[in-house]
């Protein structure tokens, strides 16, 4: 082979290596801790949790947490009933698709899904990109609240260290 062809081949391999290095680095984290699951973006190895889902949040086995509404009131997980959430200003969301839930209340980046009168899921989402205040989440004693996205440290201060964490790719 000629020297010119060697340079082209070496340059191409370098570019391929740089491309693969950037594409192969994990950019997404999924964490689980009992009934809590969360998704985070990874940037330079740092997690930014943008979605948290808590299954059966009023069960005794669920982690102790409280929610702070943007206008200040604090809702403890034990008081998350349909009527209490309606009084707090959450609105009914018409389910246009077949689901296992009978009704859903939404507002401020949080969704409450019910099956009959039982709260089945609380899902918090980052609403910072669309403006408006999101619901804050904190430990049950209600001293520190964090609005999504959460850092790894903030996530763990509310829920503890995840039992399972997996990093991967989200295209």
pLDDT tens per residue across span 30-86: 999 999 999 999 998 899 999 999 999 999 989 999 999 998 899 999 999 999 999
Q: Which structure tokens are listed for 102?
A: 């009978």
Q: Which among 135, 137, 130 has a CA at the least distance from the CA of 70?
A: 135
Q: Which two tokens stand for residue 140?
A: 């049950």
Computed over every residue of the chain, the mean pLDDT equals 86
Measure Cα distances from 154 to 58, 82, 94, 137, 150 in Å: 22, 28, 33, 10, 6
The yes-or-no verdict on residue 18 having pLDDT over 50 is no
**Predicted confidence band at 10 (pLDDT cuts at 50, 70, 90)?**
low
pTM for the structure as a whole: 0.81
Residues 40 and 28: beta-carbon distance below 8 Å: yes
Burial 44-56 (b: 16+ CB within 10 A, else e): eeebbbbbbbbbe
Rounded CA separation 144/26 (Å): 30
Rounded to an integer, what distance in angstroms lies between the CA atom of residue 113 and that of residue 82? 9
Task: Write the DSSP symbol of residue 131.
Answer: -
């Amino acid at each position: 082979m000629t020297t010119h062809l060697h340079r082209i081949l070496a340059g191409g391999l370098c570019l391929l290596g740089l491309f693969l290095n950037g594409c192969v680095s994990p950019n997404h984290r999924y964490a689980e801790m009992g009934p809590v699951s969360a998704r985070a973006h990874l940037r330079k190895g740092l997690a930014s949790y943008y979605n948290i889902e808590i299954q059966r949040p009023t069960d005794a086995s669920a982690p102790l947490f409280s929610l702070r509404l943007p206008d200040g009131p604090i809702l403890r997980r034990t008081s998350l009933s349909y009527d209490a959430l309606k009084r707090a200003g959450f609105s009914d969301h018409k389910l246009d698709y077949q689901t296992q839930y009978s009704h859903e209340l939404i507002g401020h980046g949080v969704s409450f899904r019910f099956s009959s009168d039982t709260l089945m899921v609380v899902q918090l989402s980052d609403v910072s990109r669309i403006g408006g205040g999101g619901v804050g989440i904190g430990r049950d004693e209600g001293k520190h609240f964090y609005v999504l996205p959460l850092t790894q440290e903030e996530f763990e201060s509310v829920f503890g260290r995840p039992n399972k964490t997996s990093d991967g790719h989200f295209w």
